[in-house]
Amino acid sequence: MLKLYGHPFSSYTWKALIPIYANEAPFGFEELPVDGQGPAWDFVREASPLGKFPVLSDAGHIVFEATAIIEHLAVHRLPDAGLIPADPQKAVETRKMDRVFDNYVMNLMQEGVNEAIRSAGNPDPAIMAGVRERLERVYAWLDEWLASYERPEQVTLIECAAAPSLFYADWVHQITDTWPRLRDWRAHLLALPAVSHCVEDARPFRPNFPLGAPDRD
């Protein structure tokens, strides 16, 4: 059986969980203790160069990095789920957008979170202003991209990447009416059963968000 190692509050863990939940694939979830100790952590630390999660174990195959986990699922476990389009050009576009959400939304959001952690909850205003300015550029680009994006009936790699990154990015810098398509798409993603499952599982950990979790979602 599949086993996924991660944490319910982790955005990249969400990314790997969403296709599993969406397709009701049987699996086991190994929640990593926050103290960083125990056999599950030992397994994760041995699995990748820097011991990061999520990590998937599948019949002797060990896969780390959330995108690679989804690619593995698409090939070996969920070949008919439409996670990666069969059309080569559409697959290229899907993989491109996966990188957009990871590199230009998730990682940028994480800069603000890291600054809050570094400063013990008193982040440098200049650093946060820079994060917000760049997020606004990305929000505007995504809002324009959504004008021509045809939402699939099923969850794809794009939705798996977009849902957690937009969920947490909005906490760092709110997606307002300035970007109506992006605002509405985020709400659509959070309403998907697979994503809602992740949101609810993570709810008990919200007090740990270093910038303070907003009273929404």
Domain ranges for the chain: 2-77, 88-195
* Amino acid residing at 64: F
Q: How confident is the model at residue 8 (pLDDT cuts 50, 70, 90)?
A: very high
pTM over 0.85: yes
Q: What percent of the chain has pLDDT over 70?
A: 100
Tell me which CATH code domain 88-195 carries.
1.20.1050.10
Average pLDDT over residues 133-148: 98
Q: Is the pLDDT of residue 121 over 90?
A: no
Six-digit token pair at 62? 């060990």
Q: Measure the CA–CA gap between 143 and 164, rounded to whole angstroms.
A: 17
Name the CATH superfamily, with its identifier, for domain 2-77. Answer: Glutaredoxin (3.40.30.10)
Q: How far is CA 76 from CA 47, 134, 157, in A?
A: 19, 37, 15
Is residue 29 within 8 A of residue 6, CB to CB? The reply is yes
